[in-house]
Amino acid sequence: MISDHSKNLRWFSKIIVFATLFLIFAGALVKSFEVGLSVPDWPTTYGYQMFAYPLGDMVGGIFYEHGHRMIATFVGALTLILAIWLGFKESRKPVKILGYTALALVIIQGLLGGLTVLFFLPTPISLLHGVMAQTFFLVVILIAYSLSSELVETHHVQDQHKSIIIVLLGMIYIQLILGAWMRHTESGLAIYDFPTMAGYWYPTLNESILTIINNWRFEMDFVDVSIYQVAIHLFHRLGALIILILMIFTHYKMLQKPEYYSKTIKMNLYILDVLILTQILLGAITIWTVRGPYITSFHVVNGAAVLGVCFLLLLRISDLSFLKRI
């Protein structure tokens, strides 16, 4: 027997998914505008309790940093409500555990955000903060799907192409880590042109290419970068190429027998294609606009959307009978 979830709980879980996506965008804006220390204290804001801080003083970098904190607190409160709601109303133990897991992750995420401020934006903590946000996003998507009518009404079977989607999902996750690593090591413009790289189609990591890059940075009044930063940037571009190839391969394999898949799964696949292509375009525009803050932030949030849609595709072609048990 399948538990009867209320319509309100289903919608509430979906609201958290989109609120989390918005939170990731708000966090990206903080980094894109380099205003992570606009509010130097935590958990207070210039000595004020967070929601007591005067709205009229939310200007400049404070608007983005304090706004990010307020949105994060709101998402945390929604997650607490969801965990309690699932604890009392949900009969399936795995789904209850997912609710508690989401709550634990959002608490850890909040603490990591505070530590980034208290320790003046150290790269390891900032990187972990970004990775944790993506992980939390996947968990709330899984919760929302476990509560959906689609799970209840669909007969899920083990799909032969599940392994391909797992590889693609894993590569997307790694790519987001590389992207966060690139952002938090100031490597976003370690290569300043696209699709070429310092004027080369096949660059070699040596002093010659580093000189070309740093000459450009000198003219732009940017500080020099190291060969280490250039390598991080190159790995991120290579990751994008691998994902593009995997996307084409996945699409080809899954649609060899189009009658095997429902319209929902096909639409999921097409949306994933569009998001990945959009992500590559946003990455290019980020370079062309010399890392414009809003474009860069849309690149980050679209990356999270790619991860989420790919994960949803995996759920839809997997045997999830364990989530249907009471």
- Percent of the residues in the chain that have a pLDDT greater than 70, as a whole number: 95
pLDDT in tens, 8-29: 999 999 999 999 999 999 999 9
Q: List 200's β-bridge partners, or say none.
A: 197
3 to 6, 95, 148, 324: CA distances (angstroms): 10, 11, 11, 8
Q: How far is CA 79 from its chain centroid? A: 18
User: How many whole angstroms separate alpha carbon 215 and alpha carbon 204?
Assistant: 17
Do 307 and 275 contact (CB within 8 A), yes or no?
no
pLDDT of the residue at 158: 60
Reading the block at residue 23, the tokens are 């939170």
Q: How far is CA 322 from its chain centroid? A: 27
Helix (H, G, I), strand (E, B), or coil: what is residue 45? strand
| DSSP-assigned letters across all residues of 49-78 | -GGGS-GGG--THHHHHHHHHHHHHHHHHH
Reading the block at residue 282, the tokens are 């946003």
Which is nearest to 70 in space by CA: 62, 60, 59? 62
pLDDT of the residue at 2: 42
pLDDT in tens, 183-195: 999 999 999 999 9
Q: Which of 17-31, 83-97, 226-240, 248-262 has the lowest mean pLDDT?
A: 248-262
Taking 3-state DSSP, the helix, strand and coil percentages for the chain, each rounded to the nearest 5, stand at 70, 0, 25
Which is nearest to 325 in space by CA: 91, 82, 88? 91
Q: Is the peptide bond before 54 cis (omega within 30 degrees of 0)?
A: no
Q: What is the mean pLDDT of the chain?
A: 91
- In Å, the largest CA–CA distance within the chain is 68
The confidence band for 106, taking pLDDT boundaries of 50, 70 and 90, is: very high
pLDDT of the residue at 18: 97
User: How many whole angstroms separate alpha carbon 209 and alpha carbon 103?
Assistant: 47
Question: Looking at residue 310, what DSSP letter applies?
Answer: H
pLDDT of the residue at 203: 83
**Model confidence at 150: pLDDT above 90:** no
pLDDT of the residue at 182: 94
| DSSP-assigned letters across all residues of 83-110 | HHHHHHH---HHHHHHHHHHHHHHHHHH
Encoded amino acid at 63, one letter: F
Do 78 and 69 contact (CB within 8 A), yes or no?
no
Q: Where are the domains of the chain?
A: 1-153, 155-326
User: How many whole angstroms separate alpha carbon 75 and alpha carbon 213?
Assistant: 41
User: How many whole angstroms separate alpha carbon 189 and alpha carbon 183?
Assistant: 9
225 to 73, 74, 195, 287: CA distances (angstroms): 36, 38, 20, 16
pLDDT of the residue at 254: 84
User: How many whole angstroms separate alpha carbon 217 and alpha carbon 291?
Assistant: 13
What contacts 24+ positions apart, CB below 8 Å, involve 55-60?
A: 60/35
